[in-house]
Structures are given as C-alpha cells and as structure tokens.
Structure 1
Amino acid sequence: MEDIDLNLLVALDVLLAEESVTEAAKRLGLSPSAMSRTLSRLRSVTGDPLLVRAGRSLVPTRFAESLRERVHAVTEDARALLRPAASELDIATLETTFSIRVSEAFLELLSAPLVSAVTRAAPHVRLRFALKPDKEPHMLREGLIDLEIGVLGVPAPELRTRLLFRDRLVGVAREGHPLLSGKAVTTERYAACSHVVASRRGEFAEAIDDTLETMGLKREIRVVVPGFPDAMRIAASTDLVAAVPISCLGKNKVNEPVAEFGIRSFELPFKTPEIQVAAIWHPRADADPAHRWLRSIVAQVCRATYP
C-alpha cells in the first residue's frame, strides 16, 4: 500500500491524546522536529490543521475531535492483530465452543468425565460432540471440527497428534456363556462361537479373521454393528461373542463382570495389534492457547481413566 503510511495513524493517535508535539515525540521516541514533520504530513494527508494554537497550547480542530475515538480504536485493533499470540489464558472466563469428533465408544465412556472436567475449569465453554463415520481428515482441514479422538494412522501428514492411551482387544460374552464355562478359552473354542463385530464401514471381516486364517481357522460372523457399545449390548443378550478394546470395560478388569452391560470379559487366546488412541488436530490450532488447554484436559481425563 504505497499510498498509505499506517505509522501516521499511530502518530495521529498519540498527537490527539497528548495535544502536544513535544509530549507526543517523547512517547514515540522521536525528536520534536521529526514529530513536527509528521504533523505536517498528517495535515497534508487529511486536509485539516488537526492541532492549532490556543495561546501556548495546541487544541484539536473539530475534525480532529471527530477522529479521536476512531483513530484510537483502529490503532488498538492493529496492535492486537500484530502482537504475538497471548501465552496466558484465563480459563475461568473463556467463552467459546469446541467441536470434537469421537467414536461411539468414546462418547459413551469418556464424554461425561470430559464434560465434568471442562465445566469445573471453564464454566462458559461449550462442547459439541460429533460421531465419526470415517477417518477422512477433511473436517479438520476445513475447520468444521476442532479436535478428533481416534486411532493413530490418519491419512494426512500435516495433522498434529498426541497419544492419549494405548489400547488392546479383549473378548466379551454374556454371563453364563458356554465359552466361559470353566474350560480354558482356546483359539479353537473361540473360533467355534458365533460373533458380532463392530465396523463403521459395515465389513464382516476384520484383523482377527486374518489372524485366525493363519491358524487354519474361521469364525462365523452373524451381526455387524457400527460401534463397540452396540456389540457389547448384543453380546449381553445373545450367545454371540464380541471383541472390543479394553477401554470399553471402563474401570473393570479383564475376567471380571461388566455390570453396566451384563457381560464378562476374557483375554483373547491369540495376540492382536496394539491400538494407539490419539488426539488429532490441524496445525492452524497448534499455537492457540484455548486449543492447547482443550488438548491438555482431554489428555488428563484419558490418563485418569486409563493410567
């Protein structure tokens, strides 16, 4: 903008505040002569004297008086825009809405403690939870959500991640299920059961089936549901067996009843890959103090639940 010198706005703001060339020069670290030249430039640009003599003092013209508040507001806005992002944040007075995309299991097991923690620390913050039908990163890229909780391995290298906890699969079946009759749960006995699996894409096969195939075994999948809580509820009221992340058990330990669902968990008789659950966000929010706080409190809630 070759025809606009924004430094003149700062000079005019100080001149109108001080109504003195000498005092304005002191505030801006200029010599009185340099400040006088700046006032001359301002008079030329605006076509108004701005400050005129009244005895030994300078007083603003009516035009200058009409500019005083507007000029001050513009210069303050400019300073706010260009100063470094604030590192301090008053969480207690923060007013904003965060949109978080989560799985059905996270919503069922961790949304309540997260809401409780956020409400205690930041009573004016609102949370909007959205279920994730897929792992596509476009919602983060387009700013439609602020944070996503999901398994590491998103197909977008620019996204930032923070590991929240490590998970693994365990089996669940209704209390009194023949598989849990007292005999050891072997791979053969497990594969011989009918199963319900959780798949967002509605697929009947998953990693467990690949593992069983290497052992020459195949299981019968009777039902596919979108989320792990659905699979646990179906397992509780049928003879179908489900495999779910151990995080779905809440505070319950493996081989103990899960009273909320009316099921009992058990260790799978074969190894499955570790599941790494992470917070995922776009770089545009990386340095934002409020977003940093959100990521921190999500991590605290996860650590408290899955130490």
Structure 2
Amino acid sequence: MSQLREQLNDELFYRDGSQLVPTPFALSIAPQIHKILASMNGILHQGDFKPEAFTGSISLSMRESTFELFAAKIGEICMQLPKANQIKVYAKEQMSFDALIRGQVDFMLLPHDISQPPTKNHELVWQQVFSDEMICLMSPNHPLVNQSLSVEAYLAHQHIGIHDKDLSEPFFEQNLKQQYGERHVAISVSDFGSAAVMCHQSNYLLTCSKMWANRAFQAKGLLQKPLPFEYGKVAYSLVWNQASLNDPALQWLHSQLLGNSEHH
C-alpha cells in the first residue's frame, strides 16, 4: 500500500473511526482496478466453481420492495454458500449504478419500464428477470372503491409518487401527461412499501408493481384496480458490470439470480 501511495501520489485511503474510507482519487480509479482484479480472478480461479467451498463475499443492491420478491431466491443462494464470509444486500439508494461500475457491489435488481433501460452506461449490462404489470392501489375506504377507475377519476385524486434519482420520468407518467394531463403527486417516497403504508392511512392512490402488490405484507387489505390508460411494458431486471463475470463465483451467482424465472 505504501508503494502504491508513493507511485500514485495519493493517500488512497484515510481512517475514519474504525473504517478505511477511499479518497476521491481512489474512487475515480476504482472502475479500472475492478476490471484488473476481475480479470485476475478469472485467470487464478479457472475451472468449475464449487459453491460449498466458497469463502468470499458477494453483494447485491435493490429496493426494499424488490427484496420481498427475491428473498426466497436469495435464501436458496445463502444455503448453497455455507462457508461464505458474508452476503451483503444494500439499499439501492446506498449502492447504485456508480457502485456497480466501481465494483463495490456485484449485482443490482430493480423494477423499470422496458422502454427505460436501467442505465445507458456501456460497462453495465441488464437482463430482464420478470415481466410485470402496473396497477392502482387504494384504501378499502377510498371513494373510488365501488366505481370503475376512469382516467378522469384517476386524475381527480391525489397520488403517492416513488422518487428515483437514477431513472428518468417513467413512460406511464409521460404518456399520461401528454394524453390526459398531469396527476397530482401529494407525497413522494422512496419505495412501494412505505407508499403502501401511506395508502392505508389516506385517500391517496398508489401506482405500483402488480407482482409486488400480490406478495407484499404492506399491500394486504388494499384494493387493486387496473390502470385506465396505456403504460407500456414493465419488468424487473438484473444489472451488472460486464467485467464481473470474469470471476467464476459471480458467473455462478449470475446464473442463480436469472435461474429459470425469466419472463414469468
């Protein structure tokens, strides 16, 4: 480390309490270092990967609501890696696309529009795991419960929005605005789960993933209605840094996460 610091003319890491924190320069060169290390792993660990003997760490990033859909799969992966040092699951807000590029996280899982790829960065690859639908959730006490949901009624009521700094405005939002008008988002939260809790406590409408709403505890008791307008196609996708698949352990993890579930 001292030789690297001298050659690169940078401290690279500094101590903050009990942690080592990378300097801005270290973060800037992380993508190149990640590629080098991933290639070395591919050379040093050629041959069949044996999950039962794996002693390293793996890391995933996703929204809390996405974890609910993949918890069973992640549980299976944990069972197959009995000697793994650690399996880390980060919140997407904490570890996003930049973390994938720098090699700080191995894979990301997230919902998105098919017309809106998770990233345009050429170093990152994305592949659909599940196809999905969008629905409107409301409290069982909502005035619209006993009515069919029209566009006019949808726009007449207030909404809960989901904010995501990494993705552009969703297609359904753009199309709705162009065809009929802008919806009134009264409150914006980071995830479907917290939005559903708010939905229980208000007459706000929540537009979200049908797959999530059918499984999530927070959505139990909320009424589902189909959206009264075109919203395009939506899905859950796996996103990764193409350099990562040089590592046999991450090749294995990649195949486990995709499994046979594509387009279900």
The within-5 A match list for 1:74-113 is: 85-107=45-67, 109-113=68-72
The equivalent residue for 2:145 is: 180
Measure, in 1, the Cα distance between the counterparts of 2:62 and 2:198.
Answer: 22
For the residues of structure 1 that align with 2:172 and 2:42, how far apart are their CA atoms? 54
Amino acid at match of 2:108: E
Asked if 1:127 corresponds to 2:76, the answer is: no
Pick closer, same or farther for the CA change 1:83–1:172 going to 2, 3 Å.
closer
Task: Report whether the alignment pairs 1:160 with 2:125.
Answer: yes
Give the Cα separation in 2 of the matches to 1:282 and 1:237.
40
String of CA shifts for 1:157-202, please: whole Å, max 9, x gaps.
1223332112232110011322121x22111111111111111349
Of the three residues 154, 174, 183, the one matched with 1:190 is 154
Q: 1:81 to 1:118 in 2, by over 3 A?
A: closer
One-letter amino acid of the structure 1 residue matched with residue 131 of structure 2: R
State whether residues 129 and 261 of structure 2, in contact with CA within 8 Å, keep that contact through their aligned partners in structure 1. yes
Q: Give distance in 1, aligned partners of 2:183 and 2:42.
A: 62
Distance 1:81 1:198, change over 3 A: closer
Matched, 1:303 2:254: no
Contact 2:195 2:206 in 1 (8 A): yes
What residue number does 1:214 align with?
178
AA aligned to 1:232 is A
1:118 counterpart (49, 61, 77): 77
Instruction: Render the CA deviation track for 1:262-290: whole Å, top value 9, x for unaligned.
Output: 31211101110212322122222213221
Q: Distance in 2 between matches of 1:176 and 1:242?
A: 14
* 1:178/1:202 CA distance change after superposition, 3 Å: farther
- The 8 Å contact of residues 134 and 200 in structure 1, kept in 2 or not, is answered as no
1:288 aligns with 247
Q: Supply the distance in 2 between the matched residues of 1:81 and 1:192 (Cα, whole angstroms).
A: 57
Q: 2:59, 2:107 within 8 Å by CA — same for their partners in 1? A: yes
SS in 2 for 1:157: coil
Please give the secondary structure, in 1, of the residue aligned with 2:104: coil
The separation in 1 between residues aligned to 2:254 and 2:58, in whole angstroms, is 11
1:241 to 205, 210, 213: 205
> Secondary structure in 2 aligned to 1:87?
coil
Q: Which amino acid aligns with 2:63?
A: S
When Rg is computed on C-alpha atoms for both structures, the one with the higher figure is: 1
More helix by share: 1
Q: Which residue of 1 aligns with 2:20?
A: none
Higher relative CO (Cα under 8 Å, sequence separation at least 6) belongs to 2
Please give the secondary structure, in 1, of the residue aligned with 2:261. Answer: helix
C-alpha distance in structure 2 between counterparts of 1:119 and 1:268, whole Å: 38
Check conservation: 1:115, 1:127, Cα contact below 8 A. no
**CA distance change for structure 1 residues 269 and 144 in 2, over 3 Å: closer, same or farther?**
same
Task: Provide the rounded CA distance (Å) in 2 between the counterparts of 1:295 and 1:137.
Answer: 17
Is this contact kept in 1: 2:177–2:183, CA < 8 A?
no
Specify every segment of 5 or more residues in structure 1 that has no aligned partner in the other structure, as ranges: 1-79, 253-257
Alpha carbons 2:138, 2:204 under 8 Å: kept: yes
Identity of aligned residues (%): 17
Work out the CA distance in 2 between the residues paired with 1:133 and 1:285.
Answer: 21
Contact 2:78 2:87 in 1 (8 A): no
* Code of the aligned partner of 1:102: M
Q: Output the CA distance in 2 between the equivalents of 1:104 and 1:184.
A: 31
Say if 2:42 and 2:247, in contact at 8 Å, map to a contact too. Answer: no
Change in 2 beyond 3 A, CA 1:271/1:146: same
Contact residue 61 and residue 109 of structure 2 kept, 8 A: yes
Residues 172 and 241, structure 1, Cα contact 8 Å, conserved in 2: yes
- Cα pair distance change 1:178/1:293, threshold 3 Å: same
**Structure 2: tracts of 5 or more residues without a match:** 1-39
> How many equivalent pairs are there?
218
SS of aligned partner of 1:286: helix
Deviations 1:226-260 (A, max 9, x none): 111111111122111010012212448xxxxx775
Length-normalised TM-score, structure 1: 0.62
> Are residues 137 and 259 of structure 1, via their aligned partners in 2, closer, same or farther at CA, if it must alter by over 3 Å?
closer
1:190–1:90 Cα change, 3 Å: same
